[in-house]
Amino acid sequence: MTKLSVRHLLGIKNLTENDIHTILDTASQFKDVINRPIKKVPSLRDITIANVFFENSTRTRLSFELAEKRLSADVVNFSASGSSVKKGETLLDTVNNILAMKVDMIVMRHSSPGAPHYLSGKIPANVVNAGDGTHEHPTQALLDAFSMREKLGDLAGKKIAIIGDILHSRVALSNIFCLQKLGAEVMVCGPTTLIPKYLPEIGVRVSHQVKEALEWCDVANVLRIQLERQQIKYFPSLREYSLYFGITKAMLDNLNREIVLMHPGPINRGVELSSDAADSSHSIILNQVENGVAVRMAVLYLLAQQ
């Protein structure tokens, strides 16, 4: 296993193509580990990792915690609700207090874009970005790429459509950076109001017709509508969004070839995906969740070597 070129995982933008391949190849080995009867390895036995989450999370937090425990690391969980943050403590003071307890690595989710980048310049510990506002979510993009590579092989030349709320999604931006570095073609699809204007400038195709996107792609990665980040109405109603951009099993079955269906979760069933589509043979959504543990094990293991 070769080393990464970075000390922190702040975003896919900071990684080289070689870094991405190194993480994915390492994750393949860790996937074998988590499918064994004894799922633990002593790789990070002397490392203490703090999961510092300033936003709600289910899959990402559980996945990181499980990855850390599979690697035999000591784990500390911090949640902003019920902490001194509510009393006015700053981000830097909070983290420095955690580091004073001899923590080696910080996994952080924060609502402000750039928070992990700011922190990485102020503290000696490795920092892993578990999502910063609407900016990036690097481990989600890596596990998505790992899941696609597992299903399709080399991603060079493959066509990936990202469908849904692109404007507010940190998953979309990280996926675009990751897929382009791996040589894939990327299209985004959604209402005009939810597609950032700059995307064509970075080589991303744009469509506003979900049928066109599905016919073009090898993989459809569907994103939920992030109502909690929307300050104004971007479309009339969820019902109307579902009518124009929702994906059903019938739509998938009517395509002239089989495509792969993905979703980072949580799924809003009946909005962006119907239940029969989410549970169909096209879907690898639960594989993504399983692969998330292996990919995060790889990230933590490789950063610990730095």
Integer angstrom CA distances of residue 256 from 128, 199, 217, 251: 41, 28, 11, 11
pLDDT at residue 22 greater than cutoff 90 = yes
Segments making up each domain of the chain, as ranges: 8-137+289-305, 138-285
Rounded CA separation 257/176 (Å): 24
138-285: same fold as 8-137+289-305?
Answer: yes
What type of residue sits at position 184? A
Q: Flag whether 265 is marked binding.
A: yes
Rounded CA separation 112/135 (Å): 8
Q: Flag whether 60 is marked binding.
A: yes
**pLDDT on residue 294:** 98
**pLDDT on residue 27:** 98
**pLDDT on residue 57:** 85
* Stretch 243-257: mean pLDDT: 95
Tokens in use for 6?
Answer: 């970075």
What type of residue sits at position 1? M
**pLDDT on residue 306:** 81
* Stretch 113-119: mean pLDDT: 93
pLDDT tier at 1, thresholds 50, 70, 90: low
Query: Could you give phi then psi for residue 241, rounded to 5 degrees?
Result: -60, -45
81 compared with 125, residue with greater pLDDT: 125
* Stretch 89-112: mean pLDDT: 90
* Stretch 112-129: mean pLDDT: 94
* Stretch 82-109: mean pLDDT: 84
pLDDT tier at 232, thresholds 50, 70, 90: low
Count CB atoms within 10 A of the CB of residue 13.
14
Rounded CA separation 179/205 (Å): 13
- CA 199 to chain CA centroid, Å, is 19
**pLDDT on residue 28:** 97
Q: Flag whether 45 is marked binding.
A: no
Q: Flag whether 180 is marked binding.
A: no
**pLDDT on residue 82:** 60
What is the CATH code of the structural domain delimited by 138-285?
A: 3.40.50.1370
Q: Flag whether 211 is marked binding.
A: no
pLDDT at residue 235 greater than cutoff 60 = yes
Q: Flag whether 229 is marked binding.
A: no
**pLDDT on residue 15:** 97
User: Which residues make Cβ contacts (< 8 Å) with residue 142, sequence separation at least 6?
Assistant: 12, 20, 23, 24, 27, 178, 295, 299
51-60, 110-119, 188-197, 275-284: least confidently modelled range:
51-60
Percent of the chain with pLDDT over 90: 80
pLDDT tier at 91, thresholds 50, 70, 90: confident
Rounded CA separation 83/94 (Å): 9
203-212, pLDDT tens digit by residue? 999 999 999 9
Q: Flag whether 7 is marked binding.
A: no
130-170, pLDDT tens digit by residue? 999 889 999 999 999 999 999 999 999 999 999 999 998 99
Average pLDDT of the chain is 93
- CA 35 to chain CA centroid, Å, is 22
Q: Flag whether 170 is marked binding.
A: yes
Q: Flag whether 140 is marked binding.
A: yes
Count CB atoms within 10 A of the CB of residue 267.
17
The CATH T-level fold of domain 8-137+289-305 is Rossmann fold (3.40.50)
pLDDT tier at 229, thresholds 50, 70, 90: low
